[in-house]
Amino acid sequence: MNINPIVLSIPIFFILMGIELIVERLTHQKLYRLPDAIANLSCGITSQLSGLFLKIFAIGAYQFLFEHFAFFTLERSWFYWLMLFLLADMAYYWAHRMSHEINLFWGGHVVHHQSEEYNLSVALRQSSLQVVWTFAFSLPLAFIGFKTLDFALMSAFITLYQFWIHTETINKMGWFEYIFNTPSHHRVHHGRDPKYIDKNHAGTLIIWDKMFGTFQEEEERPTYGITKPINSWNPIWANISHYAEMGKDIKQIPKWSDRIKYLFKKPGWLPDYMGGYRAAPQVDKTTYQKYDTPASILLNYYVLFQYTLCLVATALFLFNSAKFSLSEKAFITVLISLTVVNCGVLFENRKWVVWSEWLRIILYPALLIVLTYFLNLPTWYYFIGISYFFISFTWYYAITKKHATVQLA
């Protein structure tokens, strides 16, 4: 069984999101949009799936340094845990801050900021690639002598703490604001308004921002998202879009020295002879509109049905990932990734997703039936595969037929 605290917390995440949805209904606020929430969760899914491969190397590097180069042998005590918490939280602050201030690193973190909403599902909108750029910031703790498992658990705690601060339902919290990161502080961090950009990088303790000059009080409610909206619900594109933009910029920069600088300067930087730094524009709240893709009720419920099945399958896979070989993990990762991509892009009404979804509807139950036969799985798996095929085929056929009728009209 997977003992990753973040994976074990999945049921709690959904319970709290359910409570937030109830609050939304009772207070008549508009906190959630279905395509946005699904895109957020999809980025969380792809992040956890990629973590099965990438985090092994990050933890492996930490363990190697701890075993061979630790300066001290530390005994667990209350002081040990306090220092581990403070140092891990400060390491998180600097990793997070550099993820905003270095263009290459920003490509690994931008995913978390793409949503134009601010609710608990945004907390789960995580990058698949960020660990590549940020894991090194915590390696000094290995040299000091903090044990690998202890560090991993503390890092998970710092990450879990930040789940509840992604909400608009909690306002300022008095004395708590002076020490800890709160919803008010973190709303600032997600704002795309120029005065809010690159502020409040804290994980658990807001004191780091106050010490290192990046603190900003929440004044008016921020406008959420990034300065150049992604305008897509595709979780794969969410993870590579910034690098695609970087590729376009690099092609236009003539000097190799400036191309290298571009990788490590702040996002928006260009050489002076190309116009220089491109500052974030002010947000005109009177004309600003969020990316929106209206969809029929039939499509909304179809995607919700498919996505619920995908969430259940993904949770079961993550809970039991230790039982699978590396190649089996890779294969299942591809199957899940195709599902979450389709569920997002179906809202975008792109032509290729129609064929992709038909392929998935046919391929997945056929695969289940074949595996049931060759692996001698319980016979009721046949029933699941056949039932899934007929329900999905009939439902999606009705959607495509209705869409074709609307197009002709």
Q: Up-side HSE of residue 230: CA atoms within 13 Å toward CB?
A: 28
Q: Are 139 and 62 in contact (CB under 8 A)?
A: yes
Q: pLDDT by residue (tens digit) across 213-258? A: 999 999 999 999 999 999 999 999 999 999 999 999 999 999 999 9
Q: What are phi and psi of 180, to 5 degrees?
A: -105, 155
Integer Rg of the chain from CA? 23
d(CA 309, CA 317): 12
Is 60 exceeded by the pLDDT of residue 207?
Answer: yes
257 CB-near residues (< 8 Å, 6+ apart): none
* DSSP codes joined into one string, 228-264: S------HHHHHHHHHHHHHHHHHH---HHHHHHHHH
Tokens of 403: 């869409």
Q: Up-side HSE of residue 291: CA atoms within 13 Å toward CB?
A: 20
d(CA 148, CA 142): 7
Tokens of 256: 């190799």
Tokens of 116: 């134009």
84 CB-near residues (< 8 Å, 6+ apart): 141, 146, 150, 151, 154
The secondary element (H helix, E strand) that includes residue 318 is helix 297-319
Burial class (CB in 10 A: 0-12, 13-18, 19+), 228: middle
Q: pLDDT by residue (tens digit) across 39-74? A: 999 999 999 999 999 888 899 999 999 999 999 989
Is 60 exceeded by the pLDDT of residue 385?
Answer: yes
Distances (CA, A) of 400 to 39, 224, 300, 357, 409: 22, 33, 13, 11, 14
Tokens of 32: 């959630």
Q: pLDDT by residue (tens digit) across 260-277? A: 999 999 999 999 999 999
Q: What is the average pLDDT across 354-358?
A: 96
Distances (CA, A) of 406 to 171, 293, 401: 44, 16, 9
Q: Are 360 and 84 in contact (CB under 8 A)?
A: no
Domain spans in the chain, listed from the N-terminal domain onward: 5-212, 297-408
Q: pLDDT by residue (tens digit) across 389-404? A: 999 999 999 999 877 5
Please report the pLDDT score of residue 405 as a whole number.
52
Q: pLDDT by residue (tens digit) across 134-157? A: 999 999 999 999 999 999 999 999
The secondary element (H helix, E strand) that includes residue 82 is helix 78-101
The residue assigned the tokens 């590396």 is 326
Q: What percent of the chain has pLDDT over 70?
A: 98
Please report the pLDDT score of residue 176 as a whole number.
97
Please report the pLDDT score of residue 409 as a whole number.
40
d(CA 28, CA 98): 38
Closest CA to 118 of 178, 31, 195: 31
d(CA 135, CA 58): 6
d(CA 381, CA 364): 12
Please report the pLDDT score of residue 56 as a whole number.
83
Bridge partners, 180 (sequence order): 205
Helices 351-374 and 380-408 pack at an angle, to 10 degrees, of 170
pTM exceeds 0.85: yes
Please report the pLDDT score of residue 369 as a whole number.
95
Q: pLDDT by residue (tens digit) across 79-137? A: 999 999 999 999 999 999 999 999 999 999 999 999 999 999 999 999 999 999 999 99
172 CB-near residues (< 8 Å, 6+ apart): 182, 184, 218
Mean pLDDT score across all residues of the chain? 94
d(CA 23, CA 35): 20
Is 80 exceeded by the pLDDT of residue 2?
Answer: no
Q: What percent of the chain has pLDDT over 90?
A: 89
Neighbouring CB atoms inside 10 A of 374's CB total 8
